Amino acid sequence: MARTALWTDIAATLREGIVAGQYGPGAKLPTEAEFAARFGVNRHTVRRALADLAEAGLVRSRRGAGVFVAAAPPVDYPLGRRTRFRQNLAAAGRIAGREILSLESRAADDREAQALSLAPGDGVTVCEGVSLADGAPLAMFRSVFPAARFPDLIETLRRETSITRALAACGLADYTRAETRMTAMIATPMQALRLNIREGDPILRTVAINVDAAGRPVEFGETWFAGDRVTLTVTPEDAQPS
C-alpha cells in the first residue's frame, strides 16, 4: 500500500509541474534514475508514476530517447488558397519555427515531373525539414520546385528558412494552392524520430500543388503532420474550385 501511495504522490507532483509550465510541451523529462534520486524511491515506483501520466496523455515515451511532455492542444491549421505555415501558427497563437534538414538539386522523378508540368529528368530543387510550433515538432515536409525557374533558391533558403519569403526573393511575389490531398497514415521509425512520437502513431499526410497567377506549378509539397498535434480545416469556400 505504501508503494501505491508513493507513486500516486509522485505522479501528482509531476502533473502539477507540467501544468505549471516547469516542463514545456515537447520537453524531455529527467531520467527514471534522476527522479528516483529526487524522490528517494526505486525506479519501479517512478516508472509506475510515469505510466500513470502517459495513460492521462500528459507524457509520451520514446524508446531509446526518454519520456517527453505531450504537445500542446492541437493547432487549428486551415488549408486554403493561400496556405502559409507562419501565418497559420500566428493565428493560433503559436510561434512558428523551421529546421532545414537538407537542400539538394537533382532530376525530377516521374511523380514530381507530372505535378510540376516538367519533362521527366528535368532539374528540381528539393527542400526537406521539420516545422515547429513553440519549439516542438509539428510536421515533416518535403518541397520540390522547378530548378530552372528558381536557379538561386538553394542559396536563398540557406539564408531564409521561410519558403514564402525565399520565393519572393527569387521573384515570385504570390502563389496559391491549386490542390491538396489528405491521407491518414502511421509513423515510420524515421518519422517517429523526427516528430518525437512513437513508431506506428497516427500521422496526417498532405500532398499539395501551388501555382502562380498564371496557373503554372511552382511547388509540389508533401507534409507529414503528427496526428495529435494538428486539426486540418477546410472551409466550404476553399473546397470550391477557383
Q: What is the pTM of this model?
A: 0.71
Per-residue pLDDT of the chain (242 residues; tens, 9 = 90+): 444 578 999 998 998 888 777 887 778 899 999 999 999 999 999 999 999 888 877 888 887 889 988 766 788 888 888 888 999 999 888 889 999 999 999 999 999 999 999 998 999 999 999 999 888 889 999 999 999 999 999 999 999 889 999 999 999 999 999 999 999 999 999 998 898 777 888 999 999 999 999 999 999 999 999 988 888 888 765 544 43
Instruction: Give residue 124's Cα distance to chain centre.
Output: 23
What is the spatial distance between Cα 69 and Cα 124, in angstroms, rounded to a whole number? 38
DSSP summary character for residue 66: E
Which of 69, 99, 126 is at the close of a domain? 69
Give the C-alpha separation, 229 to 140, whole Å: 13
| The total number of residues written for the chain in this structure | 242
Give 80: exposed, middle or buried? Use CB within 10 Å, 0-12, 13-18, 19+. Answer: middle
User: Same domain, yes or no, for 7 and 86?
Assistant: no
User: In this structure, what DSSP letter does residue 121 have?
Assistant: T
Do 25 and 63 fall within a single domain?
A: yes
pLDDT for 1: 41
Domain range holding 39? Answer: 2-69
What is the SS3 assignment for 79? coil
CA distances for 134 relative to 20, 22, 30, 137, angstroms: 16, 15, 20, 8
Residue 109 sits in the same domain as residue 144: yes
Are 144 and 167 part of one and the same domain?
Answer: yes
- Together in a domain, 89 and 167: yes
Residues 152 and 230 in one domain: yes
What is the grid cell recorded at 109?
522523378
**CATH code assigned at 18:** 1.10.10.10
Q: How many domains does the chain have?
A: 2
